[in-house]
Structure 1
Amino acid sequence: MSDFKSIALRCLLALSIPLATLIARDVSAAETAAPSLAIHFSFDRPLDASMAPFFLAAKDGSFGAERLNVSFSIATGSPEALARVAKGDSELALVDINELIRFRDKEDAAPVKAVFVLFNRAPYAIVARRSRGIHVLPDLDGKTVGVADGDLSMRLWPALAQQNGIKASRVKFHKIGAAVREPILSAGQVDAVAGFNYLSAVNLRDRGVPGADLVVLRYADYGCEAYGFAVVVSPAFAAAKPDAVKGFVRALIAGIAATVKEPARAA
């Protein structure tokens, strides 16, 4: 009996040595693992479905897998989001790349750079009602278009009008608040509104405007070759944490893949 106890004790001791080593290794790895890096990300406008890839990347753990702890906030437009990144208040932001070009054109501008293009075409569009006699872009001649304050698409409108033989002076623009853009078109107070090709028409349909009465005149379909929205990065952060920037882009691409695979969940 004593021999059996001795054998059993020796076996337990033998097992305890590798087990203790394994535990020590796990503790050591946990102690030396790099903590998650906090990143503040700014959107340049209120949330819409185009931002789903960012939130799926967060929800599905893609950012966490890159050891990034990403928090989000909303700016009042691309100029404000760019200012945050330039000052270092946000490490990264989603902005209109055309506004980034204008920002960088200033003599004393911080060297903010785009590291990922979310839309390879600008989503700018004129959303109109067929019942008001608008079917193609030149039909805007003599019509009234509602434009929200700060709408960046208007910066490209003169060139678009010229390219399509439209007399810019013949199109009347009515300044409105973004919150009433779709309501005033649905009420018939204007003939069309400037908006995003993936958003305004959906909002109008939800307000009871028949889909057959809506026409989306995409800038990209009429010769506008501008890119759309892009992720920009603080120059100081990019210099100090280049691997974190790469990790953010990898996680965002994973979020885009998840959005394409499961659009209903993304929405």
Structure 2
Amino acid sequence: MQLTRRRAVVLAAATATTLALGACGSSGTDAAAPASGGGTDVTLMLNWYPYGEHAPFYLGVEQGIFAKHGINLTIKAGQGSTKTVQAVGGDQVDFGWADTPAVLSNVDKGVKVKSLGVFLQTTPSAVQVFADSGISSPADLKGRTIAVSAGDAPTTTFPIYLEKAGLAPNDVKQQNLDAAGKIAAVISGRVDGLIGFAHDQGPTIAAKSGKEMRYLRYSDVGLNFYSNGLIASDATIGSRGELAKAMVAATSESFAAAEKNPDAAVAAMAGKDPQMPKKDVLLDQWKQTTQLLHTKNTEGQAPGVDADADWDATIEVLASAGLLGSAKERSTYYDSSFQPAGE
């Protein structure tokens, strides 16, 4: 995610991490070419290097879900959602997995992409603190110092969070740091917490520090906007619509399978990238991700089924936060014709 991501050691993530059917890849190298099973070779660029949120893609490859839909999938690591959006818009890869604020802001700047469907429908944005910090509610943030990353979605929407939580902007001190610096500052105690994605950074900090984390989630005060989902270029949507539909369907099925069997989903990631967190962190990250897959408008639906009301709310929030020049029609950013079948 431009807009949030996140993690300290990213140099290895600059190279592609690939996964072929039945093959192990590592950053910068392919262990094997995608298996040839009569399907279409497809590349997917993630928003970052692999972490727990991405487990469904690896499970879907391992269990033959993508192959069943006619797709020989190769997964590539990303370097933030903005770069993924730009790579998809330039048709350097077939599909991308990117944060919705980054998608919308890049569309506003002329990048020719659209969302095919958002899977993380409740924002993972949260103020993250140690459980023993004495911070248990938004009111406890008054006078505290929180690490932020200027320009990302959680930081840009932080003033809205504070307002909804009954705090003024100057009630909380903000220290601008990069992703690695934020984590280090929290662990060392130089700041009281950080703003970021609770399902990613939180489990990482807990594992590094050996301390329990607490999350003051934006959604808990009524602030929600869409997060990560599938994107494709306008060219792909126009000329390869059936492939796009198959990709959404396979992804939805893979997410449902990973929800039912978290251990198998995380196990499918084993050995795929040296920068991945340890298994227990991956499992924690994925289990937290499953809490983000729906809103009240989409409960009971298949993963990736979006609600128009949630799209409109997302656009309104991002426009009010200044991430968009203006609130445009959802069809500017999202093509609803690829929705997976409901459950």
TM-score normalised by the shorter chain: which range applies?
A: 0.7 to 0.9
- The answer on 1:253 being equivalent to 2:252 is yes
Q: Report the Cα distance in structure 2 between the residues aligned to 1:130 and 1:49, rounded to whole angstroms.
A: 22
Q: 2:94 aligns with which of 91, 96, 99?
A: 91
One-letter amino acid of the counterpart of residue 222, structure 2: G
Give 1:100 shift.
Answer: 1.7
Give 1:249 shift.
Answer: 1.3
Mapped contact 2:84–2:97 kept (Cα < 8 A)? yes
Give 1:149 shift.
Answer: 6.4
Mapped contact 1:183–1:207 kept (Cα < 8 A)? no
One-letter amino acid of the counterpart of residue 240, structure 1: S
Mapped contact 2:130–2:211 kept (Cα < 8 A)? no
Give 1:157 shift.
Answer: 1.1
CA offsets per residue over residues 124-183 of structure 1, 9 Å max, x none? 111113443311123222211122466331121122222222221232222223234333
Matches within 5 A, 1:14-33: none
- The answer on 1:219 being equivalent to 2:209 is no
Q: Report the Cα distance in structure 1 between the residues aligned to 2:264 and 2:38, rounded to whole angstroms.
A: 30
SS in structure 2 at match of 1:132: coil
Matches within 5 A, 1:72-83: 72-83=75-86
SS in structure 2 at match of 1:93: strand
1:195 is matched with 196
One-letter amino acid of the counterpart of residue 210, structure 1: K
Q: Tell me whether 59-68 or 196-205 shows the greater mean CA deviation.
A: 196-205
1:42 is matched with 45
SS in structure 1 at match of 2:204: helix
One-letter amino acid of the counterpart of residue 191, structure 1: D
Q: Tell me whether 229-238 or 162-171 shows the greater mean CA deviation.
A: 162-171
Give 1:210 shift.
Answer: 2.8
1:114 is matched with 115
Unpaired runs of 5+ residues, structure 1, are 1-33
Give 1:184 shift.
Answer: 2.3
Q: Give the structure-2-normalised TM-score.
A: 0.63
2:174 is matched with 173
RMSD of the alignment, in Å? 2.1
Unpaired runs of 5+ residues, structure 2, are 1-36, 267-343
One-letter amino acid of the counterpart of residue 137, structure 2: V
1:61 is matched with 64
Mapped contact 1:97–1:227 kept (Cα < 8 A)? yes
CA offsets per residue over residues 220-250 of structure 1, 9 Å max, x none? 1111121111111111111111111111112
Give 1:121 shift.
Answer: 0.6
Structure 1 consecutive aligned stretches of length 4 or more whose deviation exceeds 4 Å: none
2:107 is matched with 104
One-letter amino acid of the counterpart of residue 261, structure 1: K
One-letter amino acid of the counterpart of residue 77, structure 1: G
Q: Report the Cα distance in structure 2 between the residues aligned to 1:209 and 1:170, rounded to whole angstroms.
A: 29
Q: Give the structure-1-normalised TM-score.
A: 0.79
Give 1:187 shift.
Answer: 1.8
Q: Report the Cα distance in structure 1 between the residues aligned to 2:141 and 2:69, rounded to whole angstroms.
A: 49
SS in structure 2 at match of 1:207: helix
Mapped contact 1:124–1:197 kept (Cα < 8 A)? yes
User: How many correspondences in the alignment?
Assistant: 231
CA offsets per residue over residues 56-89 of structure 1, 9 Å max, x none? 1111111112221221222221111111111111
Q: Report the Cα distance in structure 2 between the residues aligned to 1:97 and 1:198, rounded to whole angstroms.
A: 16
One-letter amino acid of the counterpart of residue 69, structure 2: E
Q: Report the Cα distance in structure 2 between the residues aligned to 1:136 and 1:163, rounded to whole angstroms.
A: 13
Q: Which has the higher strand share?
A: 1
SS in structure 1 at match of 2:209: coil
1:27 is matched with none
Q: Which has the higher helix share?
A: 1
Matches within 5 A, 1:205-244: 205-211=206-212, 214-244=213-243
One-letter amino acid of the counterpart of residue 162, structure 1: E
Q: Report the Cα distance in structure 1 between the residues aligned to 2:138 and 2:67, rounded to whole angstroms.
A: 46
Q: Tell me whether 215-224 or 154-163 shows the greater mean CA deviation.
A: 154-163
Give 1:52 shift.
Answer: 0.6
Q: Report the Cα distance in structure 2 between the residues aligned to 1:168 and 1:190, rounded to whole angstroms.
A: 17
One-letter amino acid of the counterpart of residue 234, structure 1: S
1:152 is matched with 153
One-letter amino acid of the counterpart of residue 202, structure 1: P
Give 1:218 shift.
Answer: 0.7
